[in-house]
């Protein structure tokens, strides 16, 4: 089948809410902090992209950490660098992920990663979580120098996979990412990992699943040629 599934990383394969574990004892209300941090991470990636600037995801994550401290009224903490390292070094897969990827690969699907993360971060996550060999390609926005949901990112992924955009299926738990993929002419699967947002200004996803297990059940039928 001449198609490929391109998986988002943070919020789809690995769970950013698990950052709370590394934050415990370092900041007040670690669970709330993890959510505020994540929101600033995305906002800053959009700010930079609209400004026509680029700094990599690692840098964005640091700026977002400082913004989250300010928003939650906390002073700068000692050991900021170590904490950022620790979060990077301890990725946690969502429970449904490893098995679903194995099934999709066994069914003959070509799998890729398409993420805001740097190539170094992405390869480290894949190695540490033991899913590296599921993926034929690892595509980072770093290769383009702009963040999701710029159309340049999705178009680049299709070029990297050697496919027309309409034959790439982005799989993401992030509604803004699904919207970006549809706007750029890709197919998109939304994994319901959070509130079911709807954006009326773009086409809806081609498929909505409650888990990656459901994707592994559904996708072979959906992508059958003819
Ligand atoms: C990513 C962001 C969206 O992995 O979390 O690309």
pLDDT tens for each residue of 107-159: 999 999 999 999 999 999 999 999 999 999 999 999 999 999 999 999 999 99
In this prediction, residues 201-211 reach a mean pLDDT of: 96
Least confident of 15-24, 140-149, 157-166: 15-24
pLDDT digits (tens, 9 = 90+) for 47-85: 999 999 999 999 999 999 999 999 999 998 888 999 999
Helix 57-71 and helix 30-50, axial crossing angle in degrees, nearest 10: 130
Nearest to 24 by CA among 86, 66, 110, 73: 86
The answer, yes or no, to whether any atom of ligand 1 lies below 6 A from the CB of 61, is no
In this prediction, residues 80-97 reach a mean pLDDT of: 91
Q: Are 74 and 66 contacting, i.e. CB atoms less than 8 angstroms apart?
A: no
With the most atoms of ligand 1 within 8 angstroms of its CB, the residue from 34, 39, 116 to mutate is 116
Active site residue 15: no
Q: What is the pLDDT of residue 16?
A: 86
The answer, yes or no, to whether any atom of ligand 1 lies below 6 A from the CB of 88, is no
Q: Is the pLDDT of residue 180 over 50?
A: yes
Q: How confident is the model at residue 195 (pLDDT cuts 50, 70, 90)?
A: confident
Q: What is the pLDDT of residue 1?
A: 56
What percentage of residues in the chain have a pLDDT greater than 90? 83
Burial 177-194 (b: 16+ CB within 10 A, else e): bbbbbbbbebbbbbbebe
Nearest to 8 by CA among 70, 57, 71, 67: 57
Q: What is the pLDDT of residue 88?
A: 87
Q: What is the pLDDT of residue 224?
A: 59
Quote the Cα angle for 15-114-43, to 5°.
65
Q: Is the pLDDT of residue 221 over 80?
A: no
With the most atoms of ligand 1 within 8 angstroms of its CB, the residue from 115, 156, 157, 181 to mutate is 115
Task: Measure 10 CA to ligand 1 centroid, in angstroms.
Answer: 5
Q: What is the pLDDT of residue 90?
A: 87
Report how far apart the first and last C-alpha atoms of the chain are (Å, whole number).
11
Beta strands in the chain (DSSP E): 4-7, 110-115, 137-140, 168-172, 187-191, 207-209
Q: What is the pLDDT of residue 225?
A: 52
What percentage of residues in the chain have a pLDDT greater than 70? 96
Q: How confident is the model at residue 163 (pLDDT cuts 50, 70, 90)?
A: very high
Sheet with 137-140, strands from edge to edge, namely 137-140, 110-115, 4-7, 168-172, 187-191, 207-209
């Amino acid at each position: 089948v001449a198609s490929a599934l391109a998986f988002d990383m943070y919020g789809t394969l690995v769970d950013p809410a698990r950052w709370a574990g590394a934050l415990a004892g370092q900041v007040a209300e670690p669970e709330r902090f993890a959510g505020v941090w994540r929101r600033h991470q995305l906002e800053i990636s959009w700010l930079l992209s609209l400004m026509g600037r680029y700094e990599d995801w690692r840098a964005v994550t640091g700026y977002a950490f400082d913004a989250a401290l300010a928003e939650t009224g906390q002073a700068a903490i000692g050991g900021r660098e170590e904490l950022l390292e620790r979060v990077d070094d301890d990725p946690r897969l969502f429970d449904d992920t490893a098995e679903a990827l194995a099934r999709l690969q066994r069914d003959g699907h070509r799998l890729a990663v398409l993420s805001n993360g740097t190539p170094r971060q992405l390869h480290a996550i894949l190695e540490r979580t033991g899913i590296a060999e599921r993926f034929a390609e690892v595509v980072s926005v770093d290769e383009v120098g702009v963040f999701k949901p710029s159309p340049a990112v999705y178009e680049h992924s299709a070029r990297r996979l050697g496919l027309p955009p309409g034959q790439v299926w982005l799989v993401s738990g992030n509604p803004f990412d699904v919207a970006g993929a549809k706007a750029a002419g890709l197919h998109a699967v939304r994994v319901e990992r959070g509130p079911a947002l709807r954006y009326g200004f773009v086409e809806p996803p081609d498929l909505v699943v409650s888990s990656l297990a459901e994707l592994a059940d559904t996708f072979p039928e959906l992508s059958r040629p003819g």
